[in-house]
C-alpha cells in the first residue's frame, strides 16, 4: 500500500504524521509526507520521503504572533485576514495535485490529510482512491458530548446544542469555496453536493476519520459514526512515547541528548518547572514573559523557559531560570516538576505522556478546550486565560500543582495509561482496512 499524507500547519500539524509515516514504513508500506517546505529537513531527517508544499498562510507567522494579533484585534482584524487567506491557498492546492499526480506521491492507494490542507478529499477524488481524515483533535465530527473545540465562546452551552456548534467547520467552505471550485475545474472535477465537506465521499458515504488522541484523555463519543475512531496519540518514536513535539537540540549535548548546560542546570537543584507557550502570546510576548518570570519568583521555583517559537521572549536568565530555544520534550518533561504551557494539542499530549501535572494558560482555538479537559481529569487546576495572565494567579496555580499531591498522582496514573497505548500501530491497522471504494 502506498499512502500519500497531505498536511498543512505548524510543527504540531506535521510531527504526528511523521510518526504515522514511520509506523507505515515499519509495517512494509510506502509513504510520502507532503507538508510545508520549511519542514523538509525535519521530515527527511526521520527517514521519511518528503514532498514540499508552498508555506502559504504559515508566512503570516514569520513576522510575529499573527494568530495572537488577530485574536486580540477584533472583527476588523479577522475580516482582513479572511480576505488574504484564499489567495495564499492557491499555490498550496496546485502543489498538492502536482505531488499526487506526477511527483513522489504518484500512485498512492490512499490519501491521508488533516483537513486544513483543504486539498485532501479533492485529490483523492481525482485519483479515484479513498481519503482518510486524520486529526490531532476532534474538530469535524459532531457530538453531543462536547461543543466544537475551535471556539471557546461555545463552552457552557446546553448539551443539546453541542452538535450544532460543529457548524463552525463550515467556515472553510465559505472562505475557500470559490478558490477550491476554480482549482477543481482545472482538474476536470464536476461540482457535487458536499464537495467541500471532508467527512463525505463523492458518492455521499462517510469518510474514515482517525483522531490521534488517547481514549484515556478524551473518551470516544457514543454518538459518533463507526467511521470515526480514537486511535491514541501518534508519538514520534515508539521506543520513547514522550517524543511529541520534540525538535532535536542544537549545540553540545549531555548523555541524555539534552544540551550539556541544561543538564547541568537540572542537576544543580530541585526539579524545575517547564514554561513554554509555543507561538501564542498575543501582541506582547515581552509582557507575557515578564509576568511568567515574576510568577516563578513568587512561587519560589526554578524554571526552564522555552522561547523557541516566539511565545516567550528572554535573552538572559536569572540563576534560577534556564532559557533555551527549541527543546526536546521527550527528554525534558519527565525531569521537570510540572509543565506550564498554552494548551496546544501536541504539548498537552506530551505532558500527559510524561506523567507530569500541568498549568495551562490558553489563548485561542482549541487551547481552552484542552485546558478544561486537563482540569476535569485532575491533572491541572482551572486554566488561566493567557490574555489576563497575572504573576499572582500563575504563581498560585504553580504552587497548587506542586503542593497538592493529588495532581502529581493523577498525572502519573494517566501517563501510565497513555504510554501503554500504541496509537501509531492502531492507525496503521485502520489504514490497512480501508477499502478501495470512493463512493
CATH number, domain containing residue 397: 3.40.50.2000
Percent of the chain beyond pLDDT 70? 85
Whether 56 is covered by a domain: the verdict is yes
* 71-80, 139-148, 178-187: least confidently modelled range: 71-80
End-to-end CA distance of the chain: 20
User: Do 219 and 288 share a domain, yes or no?
Assistant: no
- Note whether 400 and 429 are same-domain residues: no
The answer to whether residues 350 and 333 touch, using CB atoms and an 8 Å cutoff, is yes
Higher per-residue pLDDT: 226 or 170: 226
Tell me the C-alpha distance between 147 and 397, whole Å. 26
Strand order in the sheet with 209-211: 49-53, 30-36, 2-6, 110-113, 131-135, 209-211, 228-230
Range(s) of the domain holding residue 198: 2-237+422-433
**Residue in 57, 52, 49, 20 with CA at minimum distance from that of residue 38:** 52
- Using left for φ > 0, alpha for ψ between -120 and 50, and beta otherwise, residue 28 falls in left
pLDDT at 315 over 80: no
Both 190 and 286 in a single domain? no
> Which strand (E) or helix (H) includes residue 20?
helix 11-26
Q: Decide: 80 and 175 in contact? Cβ < 8 Å.
A: no
Q: According to the model, what pLDDT value does residue 214 have?
A: 98
Q: Is the dihedral of CA 408, 378, 230, 276 positive or negative?
A: negative
Report residue 221 as a C-alpha cell: 463519543
Residue 439 lies in a domain: no
**Residue 247 domain flag:** no
Going by pLDDT thresholds of 50, 70 and 90, the confidence category of residue 278 is: confident
pLDDT at 275: 95
pLDDT band, very low/low/confident/very high, at 150 (cuts 50, 70, 90)? confident
Whether the per-residue pLDDT at 58 is higher than 70: the answer is: yes
pLDDT at 243: 40
Q: How far apart are CA 193 and CA 203, in angstroms?
A: 9
Asked if residue 352 is part of any domain, the answer here is yes
pLDDT surpassing 70 at residue 142:
yes
75 and 153 housed in the same domain = yes
Counting the structural domains of the chain, the total is 2
The most confident of the ranges 55-64, 105-114, 201-210 is: 105-114
Distance between CA atoms of residues 251 and 296, nearest Å: 27
Q: Do residues 170 and 267 share a domain? A: no
Residue 248 lies in a domain: no
Q: Which residues pair with 230 in a beta bridge?
A: 211
Please give the grid coordinates belonging to residue 256: 541524555
Looking from the CA of 404 toward its CB, the CA atoms found within 13 Å total: 16
| Cα distances (Å, whole numbers) of residue 142 to 134, 148, 195, 207, 228 | 15, 8, 18, 14, 10
Residues 77 and 119 in one domain: yes
pLDDT confidence of residue 363: 85
pLDDT digits (tens, 9 = 90+) for 78-94: 555 556 677 778 899 99
The confidence score (pLDDT) of residue 397 equals 98
The radius of gyration of the chain from alpha carbons, rounded to an integer in Å, stands at: 21
b/e code 34-69 from CB counts within 10 Å (16+ = b): bbbebbeebbeebebbbbbbbbbbbebbeeebbbbe
Q: What is the mean pLDDT of the chain?
A: 87
Whether 250 is covered by a domain: the verdict is no
pLDDT at position 388 over 60: yes
Residues 233 and 268 in one domain: no
Cα angle value 434/436/439 (rounded, 5°): 105
**Residue 361 contacts residue 386 (beta carbons within 8 Å):** yes
256 contact partners, CB below 8 Å, separation of at least 6: 263, 331
Whether the CB-CB separation of 338 and 401 falls below 8 Å is answered with yes
Answer whether 168's CB lies under 8 Å from 147's CB: no
The pLDDT assigned to 191 comes to 86
Q: Are residues 394 and 427 in the same domain?
A: no
> Are 205 and 329 found together in one domain?
no
Asked if the model's pLDDT at residue 157 lies above 50, the reply is: yes
Domain check: are 327 and 179 in the same one? no
pLDDT at 283 over 50: yes
- pLDDT computed for residue 251 by the predictor: 40
Across 321-330, average pLDDT: 83
pLDDT recorded at residue 254: 47
* Whole-number Å distance between alpha carbons of 17 and 210: 12
222 with 98, same domain: the answer is yes
The answer, yes or no, to whether residue 17 has pLDDT greater than 60, is yes
Largest CA distance in the chain: 65
pLDDT > 60? residue 238? no
Query: Under a CB-based contact definition with an 8 Å cutoff, are residues 7 and 17 in contact?
Result: yes
253 within a domain of the structure (yes/no): no
Q: Which is more confidently placed, 344 or 209?
A: 209
d(CA 236, CA 358): 21
Q: Per-residue pLDDT averaged across 356-384, rounded?
A: 95
| Residue 251 located in a structural domain | no
The contacts of residue 313 (CB under 8 Å, 6+ apart) are: 285, 286, 289, 307
CA–CA gap between residue 326 and residue 396 (Å, rounded) = 27
DSSP conformational letter for 326: S
Task: With CA atoms as reference, report the closest residue to 205 among 267, 125, 134, 294.
Answer: 125
Q: What is the pLDDT of residue 240?
A: 38
- Count other C-beta atoms under 10 Å from residue 369's C-beta: 27
What's the rounded Cα separation, in Å, for the pair 143 and 270?
A: 44
- The pLDDT score that the predictor gives to residue 370 is 96
Any idea which of 78-87, 140-149, 289-298 has the lowest mean pLDDT?
A: 78-87
Q: Are residues 413 and 427 in the same domain?
A: no
Q: What is the pTM of this model?
A: 0.88
DSSP per-residue string spanning 239-287 = TBTT-TT-PPP-S-B-TTSSBHHHHHHHHTSSPPEEEE-TT--TT-HHH
pLDDT band at 256 (very low <50, low <70, confident <90, very high): low
Amino acid at each position: 500500500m502506498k499512502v500519500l499524507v497531505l498536511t498543512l500547519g505548524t510543527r504540531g500539524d506535521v510531527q504526528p504524521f511523521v510518526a504515522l509515516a514511520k509506523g507505515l514504513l515499519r509495517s512494509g508500506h510506502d509513504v510520502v509526507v507532503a507538508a510545508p517546505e520549511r519542514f523538509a529537513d525535519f521530515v527527511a531527517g526521520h527517514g521519511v520521503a518528503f514532498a514540499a508544499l508552498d508555506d502559504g498562510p504559515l508566512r503570516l507567522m514569520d513576522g510575529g504572533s499573527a494568530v495572537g494579533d488577530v485574536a486580540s484585534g477584533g472583527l476588523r482584524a479577522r475580516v482582513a485576514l479572511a480576505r488574504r487567506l484564499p489567495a495564499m491557498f492557491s499555490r498550496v492546492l496546485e502543489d498538492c495535485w502536482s505531488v499526487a499526480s506526477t511527483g513522489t506521491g504518484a500512485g498512492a492507494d490512499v490519501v491521508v490529510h488533516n483537513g486544513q490542507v483543504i486539498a485532501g478529499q479533492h485529490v483523492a477524488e481525482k485519483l479515484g482512491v479513498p481519503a482518510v481524515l486524520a486529526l490531532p483533535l476532534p474538530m469535524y465530527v459532531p457530538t453531543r458530548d462536547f461543543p466544537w473545540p475551535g471556539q471557546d465562546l461555545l463552552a457552557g452551552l446546553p448539551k443539546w446544542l453541542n452538535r450544532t456548534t460543529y457548524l463552525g467547520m463550515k467556515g472553510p467552505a465559505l472562505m475557500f469555496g470559490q478558490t477550491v471550485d476554480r482549482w477543481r475545474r482545472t482538474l476536470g472535477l464536476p461540482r457535487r453536493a458536499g464537495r467541500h465537506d471532508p467527512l463525505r465521499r463523492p458518492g455521499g458515504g462517510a469518510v474514515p476519520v482517525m483522531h490521534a488522541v488517547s481514549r484515556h484523555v478524551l473518551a470516544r463519543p457514543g454518538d459518533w459514526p463507526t467511521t470515526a475512531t480514537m486511535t491514541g496519540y501518534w508519538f514520534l518514536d515508539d521506543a520513547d512515547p514522550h517524543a511529541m513535539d520534540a525538535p532535536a537540540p542544537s549545540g553540545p549535548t549531555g548523555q541524555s541528548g539534552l544540551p550539556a548546560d541544561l543538564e547541568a542546570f537540572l542537576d544543580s537543584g530541585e526539579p524545575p518547572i517547564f514554561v513554554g507557550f509555543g507561538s501564542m502570546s498575543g501582541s506582547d510576548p515581552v509582557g507575557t514573559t515578564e509576568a511568567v518570570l515574576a510568577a516563578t519568583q513568587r512561587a519560589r521555583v526554578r524554571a526552564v523557559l522555552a522561547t523557541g517559537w516566539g511565545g516567550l521572549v528572554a535573552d538572559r536568565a536569572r540563576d534560577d531560570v534556564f532559557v533555551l530555544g527549541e527543546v526536546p520534550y521527550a527528554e525534558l518533561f519527565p525531569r521537570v516538576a510540572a509543565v506550564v504551557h498554552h494548551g496546544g494539542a501536541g504539548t498537552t499530549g506530551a505532558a500527559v505522556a510524561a506523567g507530569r501535572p500541568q498549568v495551562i494558560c490558553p489563548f485561542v482555538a482549541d487551547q481552552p478546550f484542552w485546558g478544561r479537559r486537563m482540569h476535569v481529569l485532575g491533572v491541572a487546576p482551572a486554566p488561566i486565560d493567557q490574555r489576563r495572565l497575572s504573576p499572582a494567579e500563575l504563581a498560585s496555580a504553580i504552587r497548587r500543582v506542586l503542593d497538592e499531591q493529588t495532581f502529581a498522582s493523577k498525572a502519573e496514573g494517566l501517563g501510565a495509561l497513555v504510554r501503554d497505548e500504541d496509537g501509531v500501530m492502531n492507525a496503521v491497522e485502520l489504514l490497512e482496512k480501508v477499502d478501495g471504494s470512493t463512493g
